[in-house]
Amino acid sequence: MNTTPPVDSGADRALTRRALLGGGALLGGTALGGAVVGHAAAAHGVLNPAVGSAVGSAASGANPLSMDLMALHGQSAEPFYGAHQAGILTGQQAHGEFLGINLSPGSPRARVITLMEMLTDDAARLTQGEPTLGALEQFPAGLPSRLTITFGFGPGLFAAIGAPAKCPPMVATFPAFSSDRLLPQWGQTDLLIQLCADDPITLAYAARRIIRDVVPFGTIAWTQRGFVNARGTETDGTTSRNLMGMRDGSANEKDPRQIADVVWSRTAGDKNLSWLDGGSQVVVRRIRMDLTTWDDLETDAKEVAFGRRFADGTPLTGGAERDQIDRAKKDKDGFTIIAPNAHAGLAQPRNAGERMLRRAYNYSDGTTADGRQDEGLIFVAYQSDLATAFVPVQRRLAPVDALNTWTTHVGSAVYAVPPGVQEGSYIGATLLGR
């Protein structure tokens, strides 16, 4: 399942509006249009001043559809420094790459610090459209496309630095679930690096530079690549669809104060976990889908399985897409409208602690040995505590979820996600010190 961008980037909305304004002006006069577009690009964190004219010439084909061409976003950059890591509340980018990394055996704390200092520097540069230190070419990094690079620490990293007590309990002892069919190649690792961007070339380049710096310190156990709708397919902020065709992410919390409550760690002075204040916990599950029978299912049966409408994601109990479903509402015969095993009904939080922010990506990775498509969902959810959110919800889903007919959990990993960083420091400094 994927999410609607939880916090829409104001800059992006501004660009779209300004780009449209620019388009209107262009139809009446190219010079004015070019100026407006140039301004839009500048407002959007443009790194290459040439973009104004580049956009202007792309748009000057006098085709009204060229308005779309003006909404270039390759040079949009997301801030790297801040109280929280980027890539969590950032409006979801079209492409995601997840790297599961294991540290070399016997990596002492000093080595982990060196690694994190280097990766922080890499991420600070790449996300702002700059090459990493030592890169010979400027160009490949020059279109950050809202690139974010986010880091998570698995239990093995805490063991390596001799501080197992500082690992959040549910990251250290994540349970198995009855419907798990986990494969070792998608398992727990010491370090997670989540890279997201609107452009797949940007993403591939950033991943390559990051991997190059990781390799002397450890091994890449797995790479998972995923996508949601390409940017520009629908209006920014529209909830993307998963490969089952459903809008996915509709019920994510929208109120920024509530989102903060859902996502950021609160350790109430616990001396082992206070390093995580301003951080989060993330679960990454690889969920394979078998959609051959799903595609042949009538639409209303699909809707019963989810509890939401196929066309627009609205709850079967009425209201608009972003509204909550009403699990108690009954039909004229006295039956609840939401089936007891409907996915969204079962997953709906029963208390505030169960809330999570879903930020998942679809995957489609060629064909399996038996000739079927290898496709599914990289389920990614951030929460302040896995113990109160993902774990109880997945315990409810595992035995009876209507989706189980078509979905199989084949990968699972969980991480503590350090807080953000200010310039001059590095990601993980609150845990690792200096």
**HSE-CB for 158 with a 13 A CA cutoff:** 24
Pick the stretch among 125-133, 268-276, 344-352, 414-422 that binds ligand HEM (CB under 6 A). Answer: 344-352
55: contact with ligand HEM by CB under 6 A:
no
Residue from 407, 419, 420, 432 in contact with ligand HEM (CB under 6 A): 407
In the complex, minimum distance from the CB of residue 381 to ligand HEM, in angstroms, rounded to a whole number = 6
Residue from 123, 149, 193, 246 in contact with ligand HEM (CB under 6 A): 246
Tokens representing 386 are 């896995």
Is the Cβ of residue 38 or residue 313 nearer to ligand HEM in the bound state? 313
Calpha distance 5→225 (Å, rounded): 19
Pick the stretch among 13-21, 151-159, 182-190, 249-257 that binds ligand HEM (CB under 6 A). Answer: 249-257
In the complex, minimum distance from the CB of residue 322 to ligand HEM, in angstroms, rounded to a whole number = 9
In the complex, minimum distance from the CB of residue 294 to ligand HEM, in angstroms, rounded to a whole number = 10
380: contact with ligand HEM by CB under 6 A:
no
Q: Is 248 a catalytic residue?
A: yes
Pick the stretch among 212-220, 228-236, 273-281, 305-313 that binds ligand HEM (CB under 6 A). Answer: 305-313
251: contact with ligand HEM by CB under 6 A:
yes
Q: Are 158 and 164 in contact (CB under 8 A)?
A: yes
In the complex, minimum distance from the CB of residue 196 to ligand HEM, in angstroms, rounded to a whole number = 18
In the complex, minimum distance from the CB of residue 407 to ligand HEM, in angstroms, rounded to a whole number = 4
Pick the stretch among 12-20, 41-49, 155-163, 239-247 that binds ligand HEM (CB under 6 A). Answer: 239-247
Calpha distance 325→339 (Å, rounded): 11
Catalytic option among 199, 248, 326, 401: 248
Number of residues that bind ligand HEM (CB under 6 A): 27
Calpha distance 13→391 (Å, rounded): 35
Nearest to 138 by CA among 228, 63, 273, 47: 47
Is the Cβ of residue 161 or residue 393 nearer to ligand HEM in the bound state? 393
397: contact with ligand HEM by CB under 6 A:
yes
Question: Which residues sit at the interface with ligand HEM, rule CB under 6 A?
Answer: 1, 242, 244, 246, 248-251, 285, 287, 306, 308, 313, 324-325, 343-344, 347-348, 377, 379, 390, 393-394, 397, 403, 407
Catalytic residue list: 248
